[in-house]
Amino acid sequence: MTALVEQVTAVQAAGLAPRPPPGRYAPPRRGIDPDASKKWWQRMLPVVLSHKRIVFTGLACSLATLLLQLAIPRLTRLAIDNALAPALAQRSGIDLPGASEAQPLTRYIWILAAVAVIRFGIGFVYRYNLQRTSFNIEYDLRNLIYEKFSVLSFGYFDRMQSGQLISRANSDIRSVQMFLSFAPTVVISMITFVCAFGLMASVHLPLAIVAVICLPGVYITGTRMRQKMFPVSWIVSSRQADVATIVEENITGTRVVKSFAAEESQINLLSKAAERLRWAGKLQVDIRARYSPFLQNLPRIGLALVLLYGGKLVIDGEVTLGTIIEFNAYVVLLQMPFMMLGFLMMMGQRAAASASRIFEIIDEAPEIVDRPGATDLLHPDGDVLFDDVTFRYGTGPAVLDHFTLHMNPGETVALVGRTGTGKSTAARLIPRFYDVTEGSVRIDGIDVRDLTLESLRAHIGLVLDEPFLFSETIRANIAYGKPDATDEEILDVARAAGVSEFVDKLPDGYDTAVGERGYTLSGGQRQRIAIARTLLVNPRILILDDATSAIDVQVEHEIHGALTTLMQGRTTLIIAHRLSTISLAQRVCLLENGLITADGSHAELMATVPAYSEVLARAEEEWQEAHAPKPDPQAELPPRARAMRRMASAKAEGGPGGMPGMPGLPGAGGGA
């Protein structure tokens, strides 16, 4: 299992994710609109509007800032026409048509300075609120996705790659967040465009039309760019997730990679995935390179036309010099939203592709949910019944076929069978990690599907063959299922599980951090911590799923006492292959072809069921093979091949020189 699936297993096996201290987590106020027929931004709108106070404050300040920006060209024109031009005309003795007495220039300077100060203050509020909104949205989306992860069924994680899910929870959310940060600014800029065109038209309509005559071409170019960019953006996001999957699997599975000396093959695998990503990225860059120059330079043609046509109007005396200055400033101002349009469209397509990938997770319906009217399991006796159960994964063959097993309260039953016969599957049906295809699983006579998941899993403890520990302290790992446990409770279960035997020798004791997945500890130490973690939540029903298969005989003997303590007074199902673990059970059931074929004590089955002894013998052989020391590959080589291998190693390690032309030859001198 991948790290993500193992973490979800640990969370769900504990019943509920541990609740953080009050005030540490504020759940999102609103979720994604469930209507999948709406556009992606419409579905995202409830999340955005849940922060409407700062959103609208930021937008209002943004609009005010840009409107003040519009006032600057008009004030500049008035300063030129009413102050500078008359003053220059009087000084040079030129009679300008319609010129009036020169007004003080300082008045316009002070007005422009006041506008700048006001824009500074409002701009600060606008940018602060808009950026705050974008990060609030990012925060909400991350929590919505993680909440979804916590309720999705195991079947979903069986189908999906963890790298894909991690990519969607990180880079895809960031793409949406970046778009939502820039989009309001561009929308406000479009409003500014309308206002600026109105101001220009009020001065001289033909010149205003000339100023914007090239902008429809910008829209057409942007539309074509958007059509080509969307599918490519989807491919880029998907291939980024492929790369993330390979990296994640190689990091979490680094021990497997190194044990098989598969570093080179994995590097080649990553190289191929990176090459596919580079191809998609180059295609995206190619599209941008083709269309972005048009988007950026078409507005500048409008500026040239304004100078051409406006200059003629000034010469003819139809407009003033200040008007041309004003129009030039407006054209430059109008260029910004259209120059940003290409960038926004690119981000918009990336955000649309990312949002659709996020919605695939949000829209996924959990397969395992509480039935309407489900009741809480309060104080179970621990009577467990598999009543004529048939189960299959998806549309595959039946793993369990009319499987029936009854476990009395407080009884310990070992389920034995060959690999792949469905033992672990049967164990996963009790806490409803999966639902039966036919039949039912009952606790105290109640179908588990009629019980709430929270109450059901709160009374079931699960210890796996490879326990998952979080990158926390030993204390936090033991208290995972019960975060409010007292130190005394933690110490009691630690002593009962044998954890204190090795923790007391550590410098930081229970505050020792175990590292990622607990690999700084031995297998037996991790297993004992997992037993203590389960013991702390005091489950009525206990499942030991090959809990000692991954450890050696000595360690197994050490934790048997902890297992015996853990099983006292509980209904226990042991998934086992080895005789030492089966000895903990009062009753043994042999599982073959999806159903129970033998039921009795270990001695009875050994004496009367040949298939049972064959299963145990084969399981012991497999365990011995898996734990046998790895043979030296060089020992199997012929003597000459071994000598050549040693010479090659000596040469590679810079060993002593040999005879000329024969470096590394044993016994050869290296002198001249």
User: Both 563 and 650 in a single domain?
Assistant: no
CA distance 453 to 412: 24
Q: Where are the alpha helices (DSSP H) in 1-104?
A: 3-13, 40-49, 52-79, 85-92
The length of the chain, given as a count of residues: 672
Question: Are residues 508 and 576 located together in one domain of the fold?
Answer: yes
Residue whose C-alpha is closest to residue 480's, from 57, 10, 41: 10
Say yes or no: 636 and 623 in one domain: no
Find the domain containing 602 and state its range: 384-627
Does the residue 611 lie in any domain? yes
Residues 74 and 153 both lie in one domain: yes
Domain count, the chain: 3
- 357 in the same domain as 430: no
Let me know if residue 534 belongs to a domain: yes
Give the H or E element holding residue 421: none
Q: Note whether 336 and 432 are same-domain residues.
A: no
CB neighbour list of residue 267: distance below 8 Å, 6 or more residues apart: none
Q: Is residue 17, in this structure, part of any structural domain at all?
A: no
Domain membership flag for residue 18: no
| Pair 321, 85: CB distance under 8 Å | yes
Same-domain check for residues 155 and 48: yes
User: pLDDT tens digits, residue range 487-522?
Assistant: 888 888 888 888 888 888 888 888 888 876 676 787
Distance, CA of 209 to CA of 216 (rounded, Å): 12
Instruction: Tell which residue, 38, 43, 1, has the closest CA to residue 362.
Output: 43
Residue 368 domain flag: no
Q: Which residues lie below 8 Å from residue 467, measured CB to CB, with a gap of 6+?
A: 518, 526, 527, 529, 530
Helix (H, G, I), strand (E, B) or coil at 547: coil
Question: Residue by residue, what is the 3-state secondary structure of 323-359?
Answer: HHHHHHHHHHHHHHHHHHHHHHHHHHHHHHHHHHHHH
- What integer pLDDT is reported at residue 339 of this predicted model? 62
pLDDT < 70 stretches in the chain: 1-26, 88-90, 92-102, 163, 252, 255-256, 259-260, 335-343, 516-517, 519, 547-559, 620, 622-672
Residue 628: its pLDDT value, please? 57
Q: Contact at 8 Å (CB) between 182 and 342? A: no
pLDDT at 554: 64
CATH code, domain carrying 242: 1.20.1560.10
Contact between residue 623 and residue 549 where contact means Cβ atoms under 8 Å apart: yes
Q: Which pTM value belongs to this model?
A: 0.64
Q: Are residues 635 and 593 in the same domain?
A: no
Please choose, from the candidates 181, 137, 171, the residue with its C-alpha nearest in 3D space to the C-alpha of residue 358: 171
Q: Strand pairing of 541-545 and 595-600?
A: unpaired
- Concatenating the DSSP letter of every residue in 586-650 gives SEEEEEETTEEEEEE-HHHHHHH-HHHHHHHHHHHHHHHHHHSPPPPGGGGS-HHHHHHHHHHHH
Residue 388 structure tokens: 């004529």
| 344 and 461 share one domain | no
d(CA 627, CA 629): 6
Residue 452 sits in the same domain as residue 314: no
From 327, 362, 397, the end of a domain falls on 362
Please indicate, yes or no, if residue 19 is contained in any of the structural domains. no
Q: Are residues 164 and 267 in the same domain?
A: yes
Identify the CA nearest to 223 among candidates 348, 331, 38: 348
With tokens 């809990």, the residue in question is: 547
Residue 21 located in a structural domain? no
453 and 304 co-located in one domain:
no
Q: What is the pLDDT of residues 546-573, one digit of tens each?
A: 766 555 566 666 667 777 777 788 899 9
The verdict on residue 375 lying in a domain is no
- Give residue 284's Cα distance to chain centre: 24
Query: 393: domain CATH number?
Result: 3.40.50.300
